[in-house]
């Protein structure tokens, strides 16, 4: 595993090299396709086109409304019309892309990434890497065998204020860190069941669900709400949490925790509802997790109510050291609160890419640089895999109702068949779980 010193050097170099990267080989365009043509996938694809190294040859989505809208957007940018596909397998077979962008729900990441790698493409896949632990492990194996470049959408690995905060942390000014706390507190309020209905005209709902359970269609799931359904995603800890938990592994030199305990509940909306007539989300409104690493303890917490007017920061990660506390956030940049009274607070504002407040441009340029130089990108699959396992392990512990022991070297749960069974899940036929 690369050291944090190596990571920071790589990230800083990637940031500083952006103008140079955009200037080289302006005529070489790689055949680029998008699987999952919603708003976030389009954000990534726009950055790919802006970099000047991609030709969008095809788009794929099971919902023709999203597919047609994406096609109109790309045509307005490029003056050319990408081919449209419903099934990613047909796209890969016919288009033979060089780069595949995957921005589908979590439960599709593994199968689509593996298929794209086997088709000979480089892959930019959204976080988390997968829906279950062993899917993610299979992705790593295939990526190693393929020799192709995989970048995962953990853009906070390359965001300038995040990189600078880690340089400050590495300087020793925080002191010895014994605890790290990750958190997201957001609004949401209570939830009432929503009636099930028919999918949008032409949408292939069976293919949307794919290897996951076939729920009745509900507008709360699609478009955009799938992140709070555990059949398709990993809840808030898998959506927001993976970014901040990833900051822990960026800082530490440990491969993963030694034990994990998590608990969650739905105190406002009550138990999940799933009937033929109606349903609610089923992810926890409140979730906490404790990750015991060899040299420190880390915690996660989220809630979907009681926003943070009374607290300094609504989200992020705090490193608690003997010399003070370092908070790394989003739009609030990073701040160091010294333990010694009278010492000044140190703060750096964010340097985010607007209007979305993310750093996709830097991450995409780093991806291109890695392809060109055949080096490892800053959010490479193996590093992102280790970070993505943390939400998955927390959810497994929550489902069991007890702690689990984790061996980060073998990526296994020793002597615990019940917990080990949760590292995979049964696929719905005819889909086959990756080896």
Three-state secondary-structure class, residue 298: strand
Three-state secondary-structure class, residue 432: coil
Q: In sequence order, what are the beta bridge partners of 327?
A: 318, 335
CB neighbours of residue 176 within 10 Å: 11
| DSSP per residue, 380-421 | BHHHHHHHHHHHHHHHHHHHHTS-EE-BTTTTB-TT-HHHHG
Cα(370)–Cα(320) distance, integer angstroms: 34
Q: What is the pLDDT of residue 355?
A: 82
Task: State how far the alpha carbon of 47 is from the alpha carbons of 323, 373, 378, in Å.
Answer: 40, 20, 17
Q: Are 300 and 287 in contact (CB under 8 A)?
A: yes
Cα–Cα nearest to 241, from 29, 398, 16, 37: 398
Q: In sequence order, what are the beta bridge partners of 179?
A: 297, 320
CB neighbours of residue 340 within 10 Å: 7
Q: What is the pLDDT of residue 309?
A: 57
Task: List the chain pLDDT tens, one digit each, 435 residues.
Answer: 444 444 444 444 444 444 433 444 556 899 999 999 999 999 999 999 999 999 999 999 999 999 999 999 999 999 999 999 999 999 999 999 999 999 999 999 999 999 999 999 999 999 999 999 999 999 999 999 999 999 999 999 999 999 999 999 999 999 999 999 999 987 777 899 999 999 999 999 999 999 999 999 999 999 989 999 999 999 999 999 999 999 999 999 899 999 999 999 999 999 999 999 999 999 999 999 999 999 999 999 998 876 655 578 889 999 999 999 999 999 999 999 999 999 999 999 999 998 888 999 999 999 999 999 999 999 999 999 999 999 999 999 999 999 999 999 999 999 999 999 999 999 998 999 998
Three-state secondary-structure class, residue 56: strand
Q: In sequence order, what are the beta bridge partners of 194?
A: 279
Kindly report whether the global pTM for this prediction surpasses the value 0.75.
yes
Cα–Cα nearest to 289, from 189, 396, 188, 415: 396
């Amino acid at each position: 595993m690369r050291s944090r010193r190596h990571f920071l050097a790589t990230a800083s170099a990637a940031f500083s090299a952006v103008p140079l990267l955009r200037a080289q080989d302006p005529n070489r365009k790689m055949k680029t396709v998008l699987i999952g043509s919603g708003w976030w996938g389009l954000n990534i694809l726009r950055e790919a086109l802006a970099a000047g190294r991609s030709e969008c040859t095809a788009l794929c989505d099971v919902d023709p409304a999203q597919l047609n809208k994406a096609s109109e957007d790309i045509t307005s940018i490029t003056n050319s019309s990408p081919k449209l596909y419903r099934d990613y397998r047909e796209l890969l077979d016919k288009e033979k892309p060089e780069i595949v962008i995957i921005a589908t729900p979590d439960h599709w990441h593994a199968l689509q990434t593996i298929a794209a790698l086997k088709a000979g493409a480089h892959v930019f896949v959204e976080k988390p890497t997968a829906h279950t632990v062993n899917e993610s492990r299979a992705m790593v194996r295939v990526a190693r065998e393929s020799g192709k470049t995989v970048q995962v959408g953990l853009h906070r690995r390359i965001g300038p204020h995040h990189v600078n905060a880690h340089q400050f942390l590495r300087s020793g000014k925080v002191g010895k860190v014994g605890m790290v706390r990750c958190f997201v507190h957001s609004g949401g309020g209570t939830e009432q069941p929503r009636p099930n209905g028919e999918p949008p005209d032409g949408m292939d709902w069976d293919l949307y669900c794919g290897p996951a359970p076939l729920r009745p269609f509900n507008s709360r799931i699609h478009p955009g709400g799938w992140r709070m359904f555990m059949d398709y995603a990993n809840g808030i800890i898998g959506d927001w949490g993976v970014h901040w938990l990833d900051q822990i592994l960026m800082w530490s030199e440990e491969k993963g925790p030694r034990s994990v305990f998590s608990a969650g509940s739905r105190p406002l909306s009550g138990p999940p509802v799933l009937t033929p007539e109606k349903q609610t989300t089923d992810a926890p409104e409140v979730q906490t997790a404790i990750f015991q690493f060899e040299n420190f303890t880390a915690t996660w917490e989220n809630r979907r109510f009681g926003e943070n007017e009374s607290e300094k920061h609504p989200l992020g990660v705090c490193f608690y050291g003997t010399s003070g506390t370092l908070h790394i956030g989003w739009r609030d940049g990073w701040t160091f609160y010294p333990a010694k009274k009278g010492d000044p607070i140190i703060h750096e504002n964010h340097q985010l890419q607007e209007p979305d407040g993310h750093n996709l441009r830097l991450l995409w340029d780093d991806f291109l640089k890695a392809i060109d130089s055949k080096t490892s990108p800053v959010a490479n699959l193996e590093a992102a895999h280790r970070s993505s396992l943390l939400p998955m392990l927390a959810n497994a512990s929550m489902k069991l109702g007890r702690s689990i022991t984790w061996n980060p070297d073998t990526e296994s749960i020793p002597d615990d068949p019940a917990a080990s069974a949760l590292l995979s899940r049964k696929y719905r036929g005819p889909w086959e779980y990756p080896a």
